[in-house]
Amino acid sequence: MKVVALSIFAAVLLSLSFSSFNLWLFAWCGFIPLFMALENKPLRQVLVIALICGVTFWSLTVYWLIHVTLLGQVILILYLSVYFILFGCAVYFSRFLSVGSRLFFLPASWVFLEYLRSYLFTGFPWALIGFSQYRNLPVIQIADITGAWGVCFLVILVNTALYLFLRRNGGKKILLISVLVLTLSLSYGVAKLNYQSDWCNGKEQLRVSVVQGNIPQDLKWDKRAVAFIQNRYRDLTVDAALGKPELIIWPEASVPGLWGRDDAEFMQVFSLASQLNTNLLVGTVAYSNQNYSNSALLINGSGIPIANYSKLHLVPFGEYIPLKNIFPFLETIAPIGDIQPGKEYTIFKLHPALSERPVRAFAQPANFGVLICFEDLFPELSREFVKRGARFLVNITNDAWYKEGSAPYQHFAASVFRSVENRVYLARAANTGISGFIDPCGRISGVIRNTAGKEIFVEGCSSRNICLALAKRTIYNRYGDFFPVFCLLLDVCVIICFLRNKK
């Protein structure tokens, strides 16, 4: 009972670090009860204990998925718990290593397992342990070098060091090494925050507005609600236009019609952009040749659609059914029609000629890339947009599926890391929240709230001047996910050295 209680306690602490209560500190000690539960246990018990911890953690973290699919939620939780089991095996093996090797072996193992989870079977990089620190600004600055993976490594390193210290296994030496690594990372973070404290000083600026419609999910495709939805977005857009933005952004699938079929609905949107003389980016479902795509449509100040982007990375069981030809029963998990993925990275361009706001005039085109829905979870997409010339990023999403809870906050955390990794501004428009702006250091501003301070399931608009990034690219943007590869090589070297010494 003690062992089971410890594993559940670890899962609760870790899950709370991903809640909406901003309890990021729990992530730095949440693994310690799990380490205590696993110590001196035979491998068979290690597997069971790790499974209990994994199932508990993911049940508490993605509880909101039950609003979409119960069977899919159960399957996903069991699958994700496998990575806890694999980490339990790493903890079991680490007991045979020296204390110094163990200190770095466990963080490297966790990072590689999270990397594997992020890409295997289309990937599910939700709730990476580093994402829990998205409000801890000094810590997350290293993401422009290592990506989120470096933050994940730090969190597990501190957990491991504290556990070894409490168990008097390695003593002060281990604690000093971890403090040194953490201090170096924090020093880098503080330097970045101070050196780049004012990103808009002397740089080209663009005024952007985001709109949060707060349309209930059960109304989004109800034909009887078309007028209500159109009027809601019209009123909010008119309010946003009072600040004379160069770009107004609507959330994912915000237009209540199909682009390419429902012309009347879109003519109203085109007319609105023309009346306000502003560029309008709207989320839409496009229809062509009996195929559907989740898209973003840019309309210029003359009411003319000038560019379209279709989502590249679709949500499994949300936008398509993987392997349904091999396993037909999978369609019962989420019985939907398939969405077709996009084929190219579209760079939207706002030209100076389109702007009549001389105070904030920009000399070069304000290129930007759009991440639709959970595309902001995949760092290679934002990297590619920036490499192709995007000077800021946009995320449009709809988290109304998951009702009120932690899901919007867990999702929002990923966008913070995409800004820091590439050192670009990110504007985010979500149907029910969270909508706002993130600067290149991960600072959050302009979040839409009601008078009571509530951020989700409220309507509103928000405007900010954002700075257009220069051509300089970060180390992470240039070289990508080298850090998880380094962690894998580190683990391999430790295992080889162990086998040689044992022989």
288: alpha, beta or left? (left if phi > 0; alpha if psi -120 to 50): beta
Three-class HEC string of 285-319: EEEECCEEEEEEEEECCCCCEEEEEECCCCCECCC
What three-state secondary structure class fits 460?
Answer: strand
- Identify the CA nearest to 492 among candidates 101, 96, 39: 101
Instruction: Please state, in angstroms and rounded to a whole number, the distance separating the CA atoms of residues 150 and 169.
Output: 25
Which tokens is 349 given? 């361009």
Catalytic site includes residue 311: yes
Q: What are phi and psi of 184, to 5 degrees?
A: -60, -40
8 Å CB contact between 234 and 280: no
The neighbour count for residue 323, using CB atoms within 10 Å, is 10
Q: Which of 114, 192, 311, 319 is catalytic?
A: 311
8 Å CB contact between 220 and 181: no
Which tokens is 426 given? 């990110």
Please give the DSSP secondary-structure letter assigned to residue 341.
Answer: P
Please give the DSSP secondary-structure letter assigned to residue 338.
Answer: P
Please give the DSSP secondary-structure letter assigned to residue 281.
Answer: E
Residues in a beta bridge with 288: 291
Q: Which of 373, 441, 467, 487 is catalytic?
A: 373
8 Å CB contact between 480 and 380: yes
Please give the DSSP secondary-structure letter assigned to residue 107.
Answer: H
Catalytic site includes residue 324: no
Q: 442 Cβ partners below 8 Å, 6+ apart?
A: 134, 137, 140, 141, 416, 417, 419, 420
- Beta strand pairing call for 368-372 and 291-299: unpaired
8 Å CB contact between 83 and 114: yes
Please state the length of the chain: 503
Instruction: Please state, in angstroms and rounded to a whole number, the distance separating the CA atoms of residues 327 and 196.
Output: 52
Cα 144 to the center of its chain, rounded Å? 15
Instruction: Please state, in angstroms and rounded to a whole number, the distance separating the CA atoms of residues 304 and 274.
Output: 8
Q: Which of 204, 252, 455, 459 is catalytic?
A: 252
Catalytic site includes residue 252: yes
8 Å CB contact between 127 and 114: no
Q: 193 Cβ partners below 8 Å, 6+ apart?
A: 137, 138, 141, 441
- Beta strand pairing call for 258-259 and 291-299: unpaired
Q: What is the identity of the amino acid at 61?
A: T
Tokens 């600040």 belong to 243
Q: 173 Cβ partners below 8 Å, 6+ apart?
A: 99
Tell me which residues are annotated as active site: 252, 311, 373
